[in-house]
């Protein structure tokens, strides 16, 4: 939360127009904090979020943009729904795929913060990337990850990052892995996949919301061995910049 000495949450006594001006001029981290203060936005608050998205539609999707989209997506306002259908029919993250894979259902699940179903769908989509055999068996061989197109893996990661306030995604897991010297035994407890000698039980042991530790999601079938995870974290996608 923003310190109360520097900002106050919008309420009935506040100039909501002033809040919008503050949102437009603030740095990205502060934008996210400001948007989070609109936890239950009024009609005027929804208008500010819509204006914010329109003003930034030509730039890359940030966590603040993702949060603004989420709040409109989760709103029961017909006006917000019409706005998103008109201006952002496929969300705020470009859904790039070299294999013609449809990432829109995943975008909607993440926007709704249905992280458990989004995680299951992510594995399904990766199996789809790997081919018919992987789809049938419903899990990956580590050798199949090498053939994942860079745009597709970046899209999966981008979706998870933008709709999790930057907490989740393969690139986040990679950053943590590198920070512990590529030591798997140090990584697992940091992302809460293991405590002591005990692996976290699926699904009840995992945390399916934003209270989870950074890098907690998405999961992989790493219990079959670390090699799939290693291939994901060393994929060329993380060295290449999206176009």
Domain layout of the chain by residue ranges: 16-87, 113-238
The 3-state DSSP class for residue 153 equals helix
The pLDDT value given to residue 223: 62
Q: Which is nearest to 150 in space by CA: 66, 50, 235, 47?
A: 235
DSSP 8-state code for residue 61: -
pLDDT of residue 11: 45
- Write the CATH number of the domain with boundaries 113-238: 1.10.10.1770
Q: CA-based angle 16:20:26, to the nearest 5? A: 135
34 vs 22: CA distance, rounded Å: 9
Residue 21 has a pLDDT of 86
- Is residue 179 helix, strand or coil? helix
Short-list 174, 179, 181, CA closest to 160: 174
On whether the pTM is more than 0.85, the answer is: yes
* pLDDT value at residue 109: 98
How high is the pLDDT of residue 5? 32
Q: How far is Cα 72 from Cα 3, in angstroms, rounded to an integer? A: 25
Asked whether 61 and 158 are in contact (CB, 8 A), the reply is yes
Cis omega (within 30 of 0) on the bond before 24?
Answer: no
Cα separation values, 169 from 146, 216, 220, Å: 18, 8, 11
Q: Is 99 helix (H, G, I), strand (E, B) or coil?
A: coil
pLDDT < 50 regions, the chain: 1-14, 243
The pLDDT assigned to 9 comes to 43
Report the candidate in 53, 83, 74, 73 with the shortest Cα–Cα distance to residue 65.
Answer: 53
Please report, rounded to a whole number, the percentage of residues in the chain having pLDDT higher than 90: 81
Helix intervals (H) in 138-234: 142-145, 150-162, 170-179, 184-190, 227-233
């Amino acid at each position: 939360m923003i310190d109360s000495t520097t900002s106050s949450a919008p309420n009935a006594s506040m100039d909501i127009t002033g809040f919008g001006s503050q949102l437009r001029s603030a740095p990205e981290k502060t934008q996210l904090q400001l948007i989070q203060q609109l936890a239950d936005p009024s009609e005027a608050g929804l208008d500010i979020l819509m204006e914010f998205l329109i003003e930034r539609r030509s730039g890359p999707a940030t966590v603040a943009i993702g949060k603004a989209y989420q709040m409109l997506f989760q709103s029961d306002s017909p006006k917000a729904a019409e706005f998103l259908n008109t201006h952002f029919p496929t969300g705020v993250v470009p859904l790039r795929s070299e294999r013609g894979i449809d990432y829109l259902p995943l975008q909607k699940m993440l926007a709704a913060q249905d992280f458990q179903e989004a995680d299951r769908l992510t594995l399904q989509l990766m199996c789809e990337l790997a081919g018919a055999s992987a789809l049938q068996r419903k899990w990956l061989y580590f050798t199949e990850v090498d053939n994942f197109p860079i745009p597709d893996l970046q899209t999966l990661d981008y979706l998870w990052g933008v709709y999790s306030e930057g907490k989740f995604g393969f690139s986040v897991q990679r950053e943590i892995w590198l920070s512990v010297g590529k030591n798997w035994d140090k990584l697992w407890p940091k992302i809460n996949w293991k405590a002591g000698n005990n692996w976290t039980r699926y699904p009840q042991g995992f945390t399916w919301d934003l209270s989870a530790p950074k890098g907690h999601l998405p999961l992989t079938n790493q219990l079959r061995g670390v090699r799939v995870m290693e291939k994901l974290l060393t994929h060329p996608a993380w060295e290449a910049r999206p176009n």
